[in-house]
Amino acid sequence: MLDCKLYFQPESLTVALDLLAKAEKRLLPLAGGTDIVPAMSKNKLNVAGLVDLSKIQELHQIKIEGNEISLGSLCTFQEIETSHLIRTKVPLLADAAGLVGSPQIRNAGTVGGNIANASPAADTVTALIALDADVRLRSTAYARTMSLKELLCGAGKTRILPQEIITEITFKILQPGSKGGFIKLGRRKALAIARMNMALIFSVTEGRINFARVGLGAVGPNPCRSNALENTLIGQEPSDSLVEDFVMEAEREVARMLGSRPSAAYKCEAVKGIARDILSSLFSSSEMVVE
Amino acid sequence: MKKRGYGIANMWYGIGNTANHNPSGAFVDILDDGTAIVLTGCADIGQGSTTVLAQIAAETLGINIEDVVVVAADTEVTPDAGATSASRQTYVSGNAVRLAAKNAREQVLAKASEELNIQAERLSIYQGQIWVGDNPSGVMIKEIITQCRSEGVLTLGHGSFDPVTTKLDSETGQGIPYATYAFATQVAEVEVDTETGIVEVKKIVAAHDVGKAINPQNVEGQIEGGCSMGIGYALLEEVVVKDGEIQGPGMSTYLIPTAMDVSEVYPIIIEEYEASGPYGAKGVGEPALVPTAAAIANAVADALGIRMYELPLTPERIIATIKRK
């Protein structure tokens, strides 16, 4: 049974941060609750109480700031999936958000929660890693920014301190004309946890790929970029043989990442299928182009 | 690489409990206003038996289905109709309701025969009216009921049905385990990704001999539902037990297909009249699921050129099998 003795629902960030700073015992910030509530129901989470952030309006914005896009940490997957700004400027993130769980989970779950929960298979995290996103954290005393890559430090582990709240996730606007995609391998087509996922961004100048980012999820403690896969693409002309090179490198990369884990035999083979699907569809299709 | 394959599977399946009595009972009460109440123990667990039994009662009584109320599966008031299992309710309880309705109808026709001074054998009821041969008599069922009531007579019918079976010989296993059987053929079309090992079921064509489809839309729903379950059986569902404990005790860990995973299903209803069934009907509940996994497994074997002998056909098993080859 869910046992929660202390529950706060502040309407301002200042009050929320104050509650966390002054808490004698540990209070946990609550976003969509799609991970925390089931964990509490199973008595897997030892906290004194919750600070519900859902009523803090400033954490719900999606906006452009200079050459960056800023996502409020409380943006739900549904909001990201359907945001015109995200769909046109970062279609791979809209796709990743749209593949999380079910409509009910996407209506409740948030991008900040997805990061803080630090699941190896978090769908939007793989996309944000490929986008080289930064995470802005606030406490009563200070604000700081950390790269998402640095913030994640193991399955279920982050460098977020107990008195801090994720306020925003930011990343540079992609060059117009570049392409990006996201693919997920689940046990079924909906309501599935990723067994592997991949996010891919690249741009082509004068017939050659001059920029490439590849994020891989569920092949290690946290989603991460693959320099090896990026280097396979950079400097090359999009072609069928490049797809095959990318596919073979994906197999080697996953083998390096998983080592002798039991899932390696399957995932080394399966990554070839998703790598081929995503890259060949991005090469051949006129969709998923950044405006 | 994505490979296509086609597979076929046939099945036959006994309707009712195996080599055992499994009777159903029903009561029908024709009320003063010419409407009827049906009492049956048959539990509608979503398959639509209450609708089907109302149709059977209306057809037999010669009244409109809107004028039939079914009180079902209330052990305080309804007669035993056995379990909703063994694909038996349309066949067994359908017969019980038909016989109860027939019993009540005969009482109405006997009174109509007296009133009209015409042999009961020449009379029938259609849309709430007494007919003589092919012609409406102008006398409504309601008027006959009013006449019955004025003489202190109620119009109550009862019926029961038990499929004719025998015990099986303890030495040879021979006998008559079921009174009737359902037959079906299904064809599945799949696409197998030889790298991810994912099997996508594209289409299932499912032809089912149901005797007579009392409610065709309902039968199609049953077939589509059975095929969906069959997809789960073929590709996803597995009870893993470790030290006596089931490892997938919830819907988040024991995965079944979502609406996104279910293929197109094309049901084909075959009506091969079953003389012992109500209006020729048999059952379709379980048969709809029986051949699906076999058809899918055959389609996967056709696509890969390798036969697998263990369900479910998970991506890991597909990849391991391809690699062993």
- The CATH number that applies at residue A232 is 3.30.390.50
Residue of A105, A188, A281 to mutate for B, most B C-beta atoms under 10 A: A188
Assigned domain for A290 exists: no
Do residues A154 and A186 both lie within one domain? no
Provide the CATH number for the domain around residue A123.
3.30.465.10
Quick check: B261 and A276 CB within 8 A? no
The pLDDT tens digits for B107-117 are 999 999 999 99
Of A120, A153, A172, the domain-final residue: A172
Task: Work out the minimum CA distance from B248 to partner chain A, whole angstroms.
Answer: 14
Q: Among residues A142, A172, A202, which one ends one of the domains? A: A172
* Closest CA of chain B from A205, distance in Å: 30
Q: What is the pLDDT of residues A91-140, one digit of tens each?
A: 999 999 999 999 999 999 999 999 999 999 999 999 999 999 999 999 99
Instruction: Summarize pLDDT for B44-55 with one digit per residue, the tens.
Output: 999 999 999 999
**Cα–Cα distance measured from residue A171 to residue A147, given in angstroms and rounded to the nearest whole number:** 10
Residues B226 and B122 in one domain: no
Domain identity same for B103 and B154:
yes
- Residue A267, chain B, CB below 8 Å: the answer is no
User: Do A42 and A85 belong together in one domain?
Assistant: no
Asked if A266 reaches chain B (Cβ–Cβ under 8 Å), the answer is yes
Return the exposure string of B172-189: e unless at least 16 CB atoms fall within 10 Å of the residue's CB, then b: eeeeebbbbbbbbbbbbb
A268 and A218 co-located in one domain: yes
B78 and B201 both lie in a single domain:
no
Judge whether A1 lies within some domain: no
Query: How would you class A79 by CB atoms within 10 Å of its CB: exposed for 0-12, middle for 13-18, buried for 19 or more?
Result: buried
Q: Is residue B166 part of a domain?
A: no
Out of B161, B192, B226, pick the residue that ends a domain: B161
pLDDT of residue A286: 86
Q: Tell me the chain B residues in contact with residue A188 when contact means C-beta distances shorter than 8 Å.
A: 236, 255, 257-258, 260-261
Closest listed residue to residue A44, CA positions, set A53, A56, A36? A36
Chain B residue with Cα closest to A102:
B258
- In chain B, residues with a C-beta closer than 8 Å to the C-beta of A101 are none
Q: What is the pLDDT of residue A1?
A: 61
Are residues B6 and B26 both part of a single domain?
no
Torsion angle in degrees (nearest 10) through CA of A144, A149, A154, A160? 10
Quick check: is A234 in a domain?
yes
Residue matched to tokens 């089907």:
B52
Q: Is residue B170 part of a domain?
A: no
* B124 inside domain: yes
Same domain for B135 and B21? yes
User: Can you tell me whether residue B322 is helix, strand or coil?
Assistant: helix
- Answer whether B320 sits within 8 Å of A185, measured CB to CB: no
Mean pLDDT of B256-270: 97
Write the CA distances from B34 to A29, A46, A163, integer angstroms.
66, 66, 75
Q: Is the pLDDT of residue B325 over 90?
A: no
Q: In this predicted model, what pLDDT tens digit does every residue of B205-236 receive, in sequence order? A: 999 999 999 999 999 999 999 999 999 999 99
Kindly state whether residues A47 and A71 are assigned to the same domain: no
Q: Where in the sequence is the domain holding B206, given as residue range(s)?
A: 2-14+178-324
B45 and B7 within one domain: no
- Map tokens 């080592």 to a residue: A259
Q: How far is B258 from chain A (nearest CA, A)?
A: 7
Same domain, A153 and A72: yes
Catalytic residue among B151, B286, B310, B316: B286
Cα distance from A37 to chain B (closest Cα, Å)?
15
Average pLDDT taken over every residue of chain B: 97
Q: Decide if B192 is inside a domain.
A: yes
Do A14 and A98 belong to one domain?
no
Give the whole-angstrom CA distance, residue A275 versus residue B45. Answer: 45
Shared domain for B55 and B6, answered yes or no, is: no
Separation in Å, CA of A36 to nearest CA in chain B = 16
pTM: 0.93
B61: left (phi > 0), else alpha (psi -120 to 50), else beta? alpha
Question: Same domain for B195 and B318?
Answer: yes
Domain around A32:
6-52
Is residue B85 located within the same domain as residue B197?
A: no
B319 touches chain A (CB under 8 A): yes
Mean pLDDT score, B127-147: 96
Same domain flag for B55 and B7: no
| Residue A13 phi, psi (nearest 5) | -65, -40
Closest chain A residue by Cα to residue B320: A266
Region B294-316: what's the mean pLDDT? Answer: 97
Interchain CB distance below 8 Å, B323 and A272: no
Is B195 in the same domain as B127? Answer: no
- Nearest by CB to residue A190, choosing from B197, B198, B258, is B258
Residues in A touching B312 (Cβ below 8 Å): none
As a whole number of angstroms, the distance between CA B102 and CA B289 comes to: 34
Note whether A167 and A77 are same-domain residues.
yes
Q: Active site includes B200?
A: no
Q: Which residue in chain B is spatially nearest to A272 when comparing CA positions? A: B195
Q: For residues B287-313, b (16+ Cβ closer than 10 Å) or e, as one string?
A: bbbbbbbbbbbbbbbbbbeeeeeebbb
Residues A143, A210, single domain; the answer is: no
CATH number for position A31: 3.30.43.10
Residues A266 and A205 in one domain: yes
Q: A30 lies in a domain? A: yes
**Per-residue model confidence as pLDDT tens digits over A23-50:** 887 899 999 999 999 999 888 888 889 9
- Would strands A165-172 and A134-138 be described as parallel, antiparallel, or unpaired? antiparallel
* Domain tally, chain A: 3
Q: How far is CA B97 from CA A184, B17, B66, B100, B283, in A?
A: 53, 19, 17, 5, 15
Q: Do A99 and A142 fall into the same domain?
A: yes
A246 occurs within a structural domain: yes
Whether B316 and chain A come into contact, CB under 8 Å, resolves to: yes
User: Binning pLDDT at 50, 70 and 90, where does residue B278 land?
Assistant: very high
Residues A125 and A217 in one domain: no
Q: How far is CA A171 from CA A86, A128, A137, A213, B139, in A?
A: 12, 8, 15, 13, 83
Residue B27, domain CATH: 3.30.365.10
- Tell me the chain A residues in contact with residue B193 when contact means C-beta distances shorter than 8 Å: 273
Q: What's the whole-number mean pLDDT along residues B248-255?
A: 92
Q: Find the CB nearest A188 among B193, B194, B261.
A: B261
In the predicted model, what is the mean pLDDT of chain A? Answer: 96
Task: Work out the end-to-end distance of chain B between its first and last CA atoms, rounded to an integer number of angstroms.
Answer: 16
Q: Which residues of A touch B194 (CB under 8 A)?
A: 273
Show the low-confidence residues of chain A (pLDDT under 70): 1
Q: Which of the listed residues A114, A141, A172 is the one where a domain comes to its end?
A: A172
Nearest beta carbon to residue B319 from set A189, A190, A269: A269
Tell me the pairing of strands A224-225 and B241-242.
unpaired
- Give the per-residue pLDDT at A120: 97
**Is B31 in contact with B72 (CB distance < 8 Å)?**
no
Question: So what's the pLDDT on residue A25?
Answer: 76
Q: What is the total count of domains within chain B?
A: 2
Question: B225 and B143 in one domain?
Answer: no
- Chain B, 231 to 290: residues with Cβ < 8 Å from chain A are 236, 255, 257-261
Looking at chain B, which residue has its C-alpha nearest residue A276? B1
A291 within a domain of the structure (yes/no): no
Q: Is B82 on the interface with A (CB under 8 A)?
A: no
